[in-house]
Amino acid sequence: MIIVCPRCGSLNKAPDSKLRSGNLPNCGRCHAPLFDGHPADLGSAEDFDRMIGKTELPVLVDFWAGWCGPRSAS
């Protein structure tokens, strides 16, 4: 499975068996955890394309803006 590093953006190959075992991988380039338990902040279209367009993982996206009515109500 191809996973994009949220820190440096490099592509990492991780075997499905490693992901299922709970032994979560680190990035091969920067050695940061590929899954840190926090949402990735994608501040630009380029960041979005890099992270979402190249991963083989299912992705949940929450689009929001500070000026948005429902966001202001909370």
User: Residue 64: what pLDDT?
Assistant: 77
Burial environment of residue 12 by CB neighbours within 10 A (0 to 12, 13 to 18, 19 or more):
middle
Distance from C-alpha of 47 to C-alpha of 25, rounded to nearest angstrom: 21
Give the rounded distance of the alpha carbon of 52 from its chain centre.
Answer: 7
Sorted by where each begins, the domain ranges of the chain are 2-73
Would you say the pTM of this structure is higher than 0.75? no
Condensed to tens digits (0 to 9), the pLDDT of residues 27-59 reads: 999 999 998 888 888 888 888 898 888 888 888
High-pLDDT (> 90) share of the chain, %:
26
